[in-house]
Chains A and B, each alone.
Chain A
């Protein structure tokens, strides 16, 4: 397989703010590639540069061999974009919307008609295509939004957070459409999301992006393997370098590090100061224990603390998945 997308040191600056900090990656033809990161990580800005909406400040990319700086017209014909917003005309019917976007990509006459009917079939909306989009449910609107990105049969489809605000049934329908497009039509898909379950389900490879930088890029299997047996977050009354070293040497433990703590006014020792997502946020230190085997690691850590009369103030066990990968890499959760 050859790379349909090659990104080289792409940078985007908005005034003094560096939104994308020189990212580089490549995507193979026929791949479903995930861009995973929290809101504001730089995913949409990256896509905007790759689709010609924004001009890069530095760096470039080639799509199907065409440079986005010098051959944007050809690049745009290869790309399909499904933006995060419902980029549709609500008072027009789904069919009228699709006809319009088809015309914008130069489709006319029979070709246009056939493509409109084809994409309506893909998103399963043929029966209600004559209705104004404003009468659709949120999920149906999302499906029309996807159909509009497919109208010109692009080689590379950018799906930017396509399931935001979608009910579970429509979400599944969207997943099915994405997988079918990839398997049956060989379409290359770049899928951005801050839902790690979606990326795990759909993507072959993932670039984890945070604060404008790619902090990891690999297959999902390899990324999760980084964590070994998972991550355990252990709250203790006090911690020092010696304690961390001893914990790192425990059976089943790969590494123990101190998690960065949020800045808060000094409370009484061990006292809960704030509620967040139903869990007590304590001012006491939290040790992140990367396990080789989570069961062995939990037992040995608890025994170790008991032997030293150290009270366990909190305990959280994270399964090895992309969420814990992200936590491991950035020290924060994907949806923070």
Chain B
């Protein structure tokens, strides 16, 4: 109850300070608007720049191999780069390229003859699994379409030959029969494709990350990233509030009152937690409704609102614990203001606040994983953009909780109650 009284008092003070309220509530909306617009524009205008190079060893060189490569090029996102076999093998072994697609000898003949054939997609151990899987899915999609087209054409050709041989059996080629045959071919192409893709050394998180590259627009990345950045910014308020209480002496007064140190700290953390939840609610509501009103692509909240709520709660708790850590370590107002702002923006940058995570990881590899922002952003992106469920973000939540415990433990250890 006393913790609640402290929290309510702090919230009163916070909302009387219009600058802070604008900084933490309105500024993120501005970020979301600008980033959604700007990143959306980049996504629309500079598509070629983001294509992933796909080294291809074409051992067939036939008409069907060319058709396949043209299809992959047309699919977007992947840039076909014909590469001699020896060169590709060496580059893959040296780690210069992450993967290579090999079209086997006799590919054209097999396809034309209706014989199943296999494309080999070799990936480098320890490479970027998400990127490899995204490319594999593109190749697989083109191969599936190609299989379907060939099988349909073959079936129709076969039916034409049958009709030519039996002029009296015209009802055997009625519209219904033709449609049934086409449907059967569709199903067959889906389950038993003529051209299959086999991947060697598959990485982890395949399905999830492939969806990211395929389904996620750059604008989609803005909302979770900005939300996480600004929820962590709230940590500064906790630290500043504690610093101000110590400076004015009210902290001494609270210590002299019958309030436990735990209640005191919880009371100081609660406003951070509540503000974080308010921020997330406002930012997500703006992402869904506000962006639409502004003529920008809105975000979706995915299929699991409960999981989003859970992430929001854990994220806000983590930010609150971070506030205690800053309060414990900072000794001057400038350390709370300038230095921690710099630190928080740096952590936000690493955690994907300004650049979508899947792009960031291309440049930085696993480095972003060292900051809590990454895990919160990753969880929200999985839930909101890819429509995954609670089980899929369990690891993210666990890591965020781990960061929370770590921040709180260090904060408590270093906190100067005297």
Contact = CB atoms under 8 A, between A and B. Distances in A.
Contact of A54 (B250, B251, B259, B418): B418
B13 A83 contact: no
Nearest to A104: B257
Contacts of B248: 85-90
Contacts of A89: 9, 13, 248, 250
Given A85-B248, A91-B17, A53 B256 contact: yes
Contact of B12 (A52, A73, A87, A92): A92
Contact of A87 (B2, B253, B258, B418): B253
Given A54-B418, A104-B254, A86 B249 contact: yes
B250 A81 contact: no
Contact of A51 (B12, B250, B256): B256
B252 interface: yes
A55 B256 CA distance: 12
Interface in B136-182: none
Q: Which bucket holds chain B's interface residue count?
A: 20 to 34
A105 interface: yes
Nearest to B263: A104
Interface string B248-282: 11111111111100000000000000000000000
Given A96-B12, A104-B5, A53 B255 contact: yes
Nearest to A78: B258
Interface in B1-26: 1-2, 5-6, 9, 12-13, 16-17
Nearest to A47: B256
Given A96-B12, A104-B2, A87 B257 contact: no
Contact of A88 (B250, B251, B258): B250
A223 to B, nearest CB: 29
A89 B16 CA distance: 12
Interface centre among A79, A88, A103 (most CB of B within 10 A): A103
A76 B16 contact: no
B256 A100 contact: no
A148 B256 CA distance: 12
Contact of B259 (A83, A86, A87, A104): A104
B250 A52 contact: no
Interface residues of A, number: 29
B5 A100 contact: yes
B318 to A, nearest CB: 27
A298 B249 CA distance: 48
Contacts of B258: 73, 76-77, 104-106
Contacts of A104: 2, 5-6, 254, 257-259
Interface in A38-52: 48, 51-52
B257 A105 contact: yes
A33 interface: no
Contacts of B17: 91
Interface string B362-398: 0000000000000000000000000000000000000
A100 B257 contact: no
A54 B258 CA distance: 14
A177 interface: no
A103 B253 contact: no
A5 B5 CA distance: 30
A84 interface: yes
Interface of A: 48, 51-54, 73, 76-77, 79, 81, 83-92, 96, 100-101, 103-106, 148-149
Please provide the 8 A-B residue pairs with the shortest distance between their CB atoms, ordered closest to farther.
A85-B249, A87-B249, A103-B5, A51-B256, A76-B258, A87-B250, A87-B253, A81-B256
16 contacts: A51-B256, A76-B258, A83-B249, A85-B249, A87-B248, A89-B13, A91-B13, A91-B17, A92-B9, A92-B12, A96-B9, A100-B5, A104-B254, A104-B258, A105-B257, A149-B253
Given A53-B252, A100-B9, 8 more contacts: A53-B255, A76-B258, A85-B249, A87-B253, A90-B248, A92-B12, A92-B16, A103-B5
